[in-house]
Amino acid sequence: MKRIMPIFLILTIMLVLAGCGGEVSESSSITPSSAAGADDISEANSSEAASSDTAGTSGDGSNILIAYFTMPENVDTTGVDAVAGASIVVNDGEVMGNVEYMASVIQQTVGGDLFRIETVQQYPLDHDTLVDQAAEEQDDGARPELAAHIEDPGRYDTIILGYPNWWGDMPQALYTFLEEYDFSGKTIIPFCPHGGSGFSRTERTISELQPGATVSENGLAISRGSVADSGDEIAAWAESLGL
């Protein structure tokens, strides 16, 4: 009987220890699963926050819009490497409008979204015909219909606005553009290639069309014959804007 009792006690202790071991093992299998669930929730929340930060944006999410009107004329560029004509720049074999070239340099310097102001009715590419039509549109106070529109103008704080000087004024398509949007509270910075008249009175005209906006006095006007050789000057100006 004395021998039976110790054996019974030993068996009892072994069963208890085995039961405790089972609880520890079960607890261990639950804990990592719970931790993984918490990690999944955290990652999901982080993903939603990132999506929320970029919602409604395009490109690099910039608040800078570079809107420009360009009209490259039909000029023979055969065998030309880098030259500026009345309205074009040929750089490394690529033909660009003067304003288009300036806009591309600005974007390369400060980033931002490019928006080309285009009209439904295409302009003639012949120089004489083009300048005659431009004069007629000014005399008539025309508002050419635009072919493209800004998807979300409210997201931009700064509008860098480019256009050629036509007969001492902006092309009439710029009037259509500036009357279509309300840039109140935003800053408009003009740039312009010209034939000797600089901006003329166009900065004041922009202010009249956008009375709620701030029109910068630090615009850039470059002689159209110098645009092709002015890449560094354009980049330095864009950098000086501090955007």
Which positions ≥6 away from 169 have C-beta within 8 Å? 138, 200, 201, 202, 205
Nearest alpha-carbon partner for 131 in 167, 172, 162? 167
pLDDT of 238 reads 98
> With 80 as the cut, is the pLDDT of residue 61 above it?
no
Please indicate whether residue 25 or residue 167 has the higher confidence score (pLDDT). 167
Contact present, 102 and 227 (Cβ < 8 Å): yes
Distance (Å, rounded) from C-alpha 137 to C-alpha 152?
29
Residue 177, SS3 per DSSP: helix
Q: Could you report the per-residue pLDDT of 99-145, keeping only the tens digit for each?
A: 999 999 999 999 999 999 999 999 988 888 888 999 999 999 999 99
Report the run of H or E that residue 167 belongs to, with start and end: none
Which positions ≥6 away from 238 have C-beta within 8 Å? 105, 106, 109, 110, 160
Distance (Å, rounded) from C-alpha 242 to C-alpha 228?
24
Contact present, 144 and 172 (Cβ < 8 Å): yes
Q: Could you report the per-residue pLDDT of 5-38, keeping only the tens digit for each?
A: 444 444 343 433 344 343 222 222 222 322 222 2
Place of tokens 């902006």: 170
Q: Could you report the per-residue pLDDT of 65-94, keeping only the tens digit for each?
A: 999 999 865 554 454 443 444 567 776 667
